Amino acid sequence: MKPLALATALILGGCASETPSTLPQGVTLVESSLTQSGLHIPYEKYQLANGLTVVLHPDNSDPLVHVDVTYHVGSAREQLGKSGFAHFFEHMMFQGSENVADEQHFAMVTESGGTLNGTTNSDRTNYFETVPANQLEKMLWLEADRMGFLLPAITETSFEVQRATVKNERGQRVDNRPYGRLGEMSSYALYPQGHPYSWPVIGWMEELDNGTVDDLRAFFKRWYGPNNATLTIGGSFDKQQVLQWVDKYFGSIPRGPEVNDATKPKVTLDSDRYLTIEDKVSLPVLSIAFPTVYARHEDEAALDLLSDILGGGETSIMYKNLVKSGVAVQAGTGHGCRELACEFSLFVVANAGKMPELSKIEAIVRDSIDEFVERGVSSDDLLKAQVSHEANTLFGLQSVRGKVSTLAYNETFFDTPDLLQADIERYNAVTADDVMRVYNTYIKDKASVIVSVVPQGQTQLQAAAPTVPVRTPIAKETLKHADKVTDTQVADNFDRSKVPGSGAAPQMVVPSLWQQQLANGIEVMGTQSLETPTTTISIALEGGQRLLSADKAGLADLTASMMQESTAKLTTEQMALELEKLGASISVSASGYRTYVSVSTLTKNLDATIELLRQRLFEPAFNQEDFDRVKVQSLQMLQHQSKDAGWLASTAWSRLLFGTDNSVGQPTSGTIESVSKLSLDDVKGFYKQQFHGGNASVILVSDLEQKAIAPKLSWLGDWKGDATPWPELKPMPKLAGNTLYLLDKPGAAQSVIRIGRRAMAFDATGEYFEAGLMNFPLGGAFNSRINLNLREDKGYTYGARSGFNGGPELGSFSAGGSVRADATAASITEFVNELSGFAESGMTAEELAFLQASITQSDALKFETPSQKARFLGQIQRYDLPTNYIEKQGKLIETLTLDELNQVAAKQLDLSQMIILVVGDKNSIEEPLKQLGYDVVSYKL
């Protein structure tokens, strides 16, 4: 089989216009790849006089643009003892600037119909927006204002609010999450003190507490100048106009201090370093990390392929020796590369019921590494790893955002925006000898960091006694704070305070779809997508867990897992190998009402992938050996999930709303009690019950036309069996208003809150749709009332929302979020005040205008990628919607009045029909909750 890059020439992008003959003064064309042939992302690279690099990627396939500003600063640029500043700035740069009021950045982008976010890692910080094409000038104005005019908006108040938000983020993502501290502690042990990767990106909280406003201002002045940034724009735009806007808004921003590339100190370990973390977990975890090279080092590709061979999926040695054998629930490897250093890591989630001792797990891991040496590298090993890399590269470029992100990353770190062909070639050039060489150089007989994560109080399960000293915080009194920083004046020849207008609204392009019916009545719906030479197939089977009684919860999910195991012709490992060699995936998953069979493949390998799909659908082996292993893994994962606050809240919420005697009130993964009782005969029986042609429907999204692809699935027309009727639902539980259910999670750093009730089933243009519109300003957007109150004003949470969730027969409404444990009672008060206030007074005329503009204009972003197209077609098919239902929704948005939406609010937000669920530390929060006046009921799963 020939690697893709050597067999196919592909240009990723729409029609590219010619380079403008005249450029704005101060803008210089550096290079252009618009006429380049082969596999590449077309771009032009410019530079402003102040050092700002500008990369333009024209793509007219959709009426949208994606804007990315990447600053070459991450946590690695922080000073020892002042960690977390780069991530802190990600938050601060959304809080307004000199000409953009507090909270208005999110509001403007959302009202423009766009999406936005920012991310920080060790090496860079980026901010990005995807908006309808007519909103581009406004986005450039917003990004320029926070690049050049942020300091006036940094106040003590905003500083403290965002410091609280960062702490809430850490609480939610690290401290209140199982294994949340594993990554930061592994890095702490791997890198010497003072190395830029030795502290976490989010920072040590005591160091964030030590920071001052002046420290933050000085950090901004040092690193956020235009000469340390890359502005990348992709999508549908007029190039000459864009360059004029870029020059207008960014050109006058003064150059910042010079920035040199950071050094790449080689990391070595004299001996193995052991570290143990006691955590609120059920399954012990072992992590082993070796220091290797750095990003784009000549050995990076070979190390990546070594990682794939050792632990990448079901064909790997790690899978065979640990997961297949049953001693682990999960096992794998990775080779994470950053600008300054890479880490070759191996991880194992132990099967606590069979081998919880991590010392024994470590021995098997090391034996597996030795086995790799004896086995060597086969041609299949190389082929599957190389084709997998190529396929993942292409699938990641199905959106303008994906292409822009790739260009921005490569330009920031390697001064070359498009490395697509070069990357494919360097991976395809790796030989078996290369893989063995890097193994001998970086892994064999080399020291590593071994981290054990064990349940609290069970240190006897650790791999070895810790040899890493406990981290000692840097003394606060030794830190030197920055002097007060003054802002730099910028001379403009226009009024920067004036918000740019919008161009003519782009025409929404709804995918043109085709439909046909197979011989047995299966409905097939498809559309063509020319972004990449790939095909997506989704086969939906009605029923899922809804077909089951409550005591069989988890059977649909277990059956789906079994259908990813052996077939009559191929073992699990053989099937995985064949798919990897094709750059394809076939996954089976279950939900409350459906089971999905999802296929992604390079179109050139579609026929071979379909043959494997046929086997997976019609010839599952259902071996007892596979079942025993999969069932144990399911039970162990349920044990693990029982320690996760989010899972506890979701499971309890479903039971409270829909009842424990209904399957819809149970988690689709089941419970330990229900799954323990399931047998292989149950799986075989459910397969016969659900996998009927009468339950199936098909969605196709491909670069092929209907006449080329539809015949390839004609064999599904022979699928026998009628639709399976759903059993009658048991009566729903009575929801007693003014009741608060408290589920104890001892020691929880945060509390998870849910407030709500049962609500309507899905509809596209009726009451459910109207309720979703009503909720948008209440809790559906970032700058909604609920989120601004609890996150931005009070600092109780990292994020709070409300919304309606509707399916084919049931629905619910809930408001909630994860909040600081000490703010649990106060947060409930704020949630209730917001809900009751909205029910009584409704939204304002300004909020109505905001939601109308936001939702209407966002339609331009709905149909870009194959997955978005598949979801659109799937909704039409599932709910038998007219193909123009989006137009009908648009007319409703335009015509619904304030009174009509406020009537919906009064009806749907009746607190007397709502219950409250809190998952948190009962000892610390129960008494404050009782003081709120609710009937507090202790609840157990």
> What is the three-class DSSP state of 129?
strand
Q: Where are the domains of the chain?
A: 4-250, 273-461, 513-718, 739-939
d(CA 69, CA 144): 10
Interval 182-200 mean pLDDT? 94
Task: Say which CATH superfamily domain 739-939 falls into.
Answer: Metalloenzyme, LuxS/M16 peptidase-like (3.30.830.10)
Domains 273-461 and 739-939 share a fold: yes
What average pLDDT does the chain have? 93
Query: Residue 217 contacts by C-beta under 8 Å, 6 or more apart in sequence?
Result: 151, 154, 482, 484, 485
- CA proximity to 105, closest of 63, 67, 157: 67
Confidence (pLDDT) at 7: 37
Q: Are 305 and 427 in contact (CB under 8 A)?
A: yes
Q: Examine the pLDDT at 779 and tell me if it is beyond 50.
A: yes
Tokens read off for 727: 């059993």
Interval 279-303 mean pLDDT? 96
Confidence (pLDDT) at 705: 96
Confidence (pLDDT) at 10: 47
Angle formed by the axes of helices 767-775 and 885-895, to 10°? Answer: 60
Q: 269: how many CB neighbours lie within 10 A of its CB?
A: 17
pLDDT digit string, tens, across residues 202-252: 999 888 888 888 988 899 999 999 999 999 999 999 999 999 999 999 999
Is the four-CA dihedral 178, 180, 182, 185 of positive or negative sign? negative
Confidence (pLDDT) at 388: 84
d(CA 461, CA 442): 28
- CA proximity to 931, closest of 826, 804, 777, 801: 826
Q: Examine the pLDDT at 829 and tell me if it is beyond 90.
A: yes
456: left (phi over 0), alpha (psi -120 to 50) or beta: beta
Q: Are 421 and 39 in contact (CB under 8 A)?
A: yes
CATH class of this structure's domain 4-250: alpha beta
Interval 603-632 mean pLDDT? 96
**C-alpha distance across the termini of the chain, in Å:** 52
Interval 42-61 mean pLDDT? 96
pLDDT digit string, tens, across residues 586-598: 999 999 999 999 9
Confidence (pLDDT) at 746: 94
The reply to whether CATH 3.40.640.10 applies to domain 273-461 is: no
d(CA 284, CA 356): 6
Confidence (pLDDT) at 160: 87
Interval 68-73 mean pLDDT? 97
pLDDT digit string, tens, across residues 361-416: 999 999 999 999 998 899 888 888 888 888 888 888 889 999 999 999 999 999 99
Q: What percent of the chain has pLDDT over 90?
A: 79
d(CA 603, CA 608): 10
Q: Examine the pLDDT at 691 and tell me if it is beyond 80.
A: yes
Q: Examine the pLDDT at 113 and tell me if it is beyond 50.
A: yes
Angle formed by the axes of helices 104-111 and 136-148, to 10°? Answer: 170
Confidence (pLDDT) at 13: 53
pLDDT digit string, tens, across residues 494-542: 999 999 998 888 877 788 999 999 999 999 999 999 888 999 999 999 9
Interval 773-777 mean pLDDT? 97
pLDDT digit string, tens, across residues 8-33: 334 555 444 444 458 999 899 999 99
Q: What percent of the chain has pLDDT over 70?
A: 98
Confidence (pLDDT) at 5: 40
CA angle 124, 128, 134 (to 5 degrees): 155
pLDDT digit string, tens, across residues 117-134: 999 999 999 999 999 999
**Looking at the domain 513-718, which fold is it?**
Cytochrome Bc1 Complex; Chain A, domain 1 (3.30.830)
Element containing residue 612 per DSSP (H, E) = helix 606-618
- CA proximity to 360, closest of 230, 471, 460, 490: 460
d(CA 407, CA 478): 41
HSE (side-chain half, CA atoms, 13 Å) at 458 = 17
Least confident residue range of 438-447, 477-486, 857-866: 477-486
Is the four-CA dihedral 441, 447, 453, 458 of positive or negative sign? positive
pLDDT digit string, tens, across residues 744-762: 999 999 999 999 999 999 9
> Which pLDDT band, with edges at 50, 70 and 90, does 35 fall under?
confident
Q: Examine the pLDDT at 582 and tell me if it is beyond 50.
A: yes
Q: Are 741 and 735 in contact (CB under 8 A)?
A: no
Question: Hunting for tokens 């015509």 — which residue is that?
Answer: 895
d(CA 535, CA 585): 11
* HEC assignment per residue over 673-684: HHHHCCCHHHHH
d(CA 796, CA 789): 9
d(CA 936, CA 738): 9
Q: Are 68 and 126 in contact (CB under 8 A)?
A: yes
